[in-house]
Structure 1
Amino acid sequence: MLKKTLATLVLGGTLLGAGHALAADYAIDKEGQHAFINFKISHLGYSWLYGTFKDFDGSFSFDAAKPEESKVKVTINTASVDSNHAERDKHLRSGDFLNVGKNPTATFESTSVKSTGEGTADITGNLTLNGVTKPVVIAAKFIGEGKDPWGGYRAGFEGSTKLKLKDFAIEKDLGPASQEVELILSVEGVRQ
């Protein structure tokens, strides 16, 4: 679910200042698998555990001349969590972590975008995860934009944020080194 949230935040990165003077709407390229919501968390302080959310959808709009008016919205299917280990994924879906039976989706919706430099921005928005809504800030970076080989136009961003598990009512304690999860987002959108 954290990954999904990151993906949503990364979408906001398109607001950073791509080369168009007019506002445009983009759909995240879910079908082409050109967008990822990944996460990283320490395993007991000994190693890193990586995972992803395989099913999410979203959109963003941006105007390079007015990046502060950009918008991002993402919905993540929390049951799609995949850490490459079936038993661990079953545990991550349980009430100890994502509680997917009660909270089948996680959402992110931007509330503001603030430029932090050339091609970078902070995307602030509300993340709803495990039934709890909290503001989060995603540090986003514009990767590139342009025409694709199929007649479309694309824009891509990456971003990251860190979430404290307890802020989202995830009380399972895996030790002091495992209190935060980092979301790493990579998003490519197709202009609509």
Structure 2
Amino acid sequence: MQTTPENTETTEDVVDLLRAQHARIRDLFDEVMHPDGRSREDAFAELVRLLAVHETAEEEIVHPVARRLPGGDGIVDDRLAEEREAKELLAELEGMDTGDPRFLKSLDRLRMDVLTHARAEERYEFDRLRGQFSPTQLKGFAAAVRAAERTAPTHPHPGVETASKNLLAGPVAAVADRVRDMIRKARDNG
């Protein structure tokens, strides 16, 4: 069942944008859990990429803004801890064959962790952002998230969960990841 809204790429509000990405992540988990062979590999590659760029953008743009809200430090610290655990498991999964029987068990654990994390973000961070910032500000945050995603690493990098760490390590990791993606694509198409 597809839950991704049709306007993921054109939404103007950062909360709507991130919720739409969460829906796409849910859809991708379903796609990876069910098919076999090449379609599973393709869906998993898309899931890895979306999770990596999505989390990087949140870490660079959304979390620093949420820290400014009352109680924001605790909320963001909890989300960052969850993101690190998810990146560690995602990196482990990336090293596995999607046909390995352990893959689906680990993927299901990641799915539960990521979906729980997304619900916490939506409830404790996103709803508060919408209540504290104007539509113009939320539109500006959406533009900043999209810009951060265009230059974000496309694979998980555990230990890089803050805006400053992303800004220091992110560009090098992003270039390396994107070269790795091009090599994989050329190999798969060759």
Query: Relative to total residues, which structure has the larger strand share, 1 or 2?
Result: 1
TM-score by length of 2: 0.26
Query: Relative to total residues, which structure has the larger helix share, 1 or 2?
Result: 2
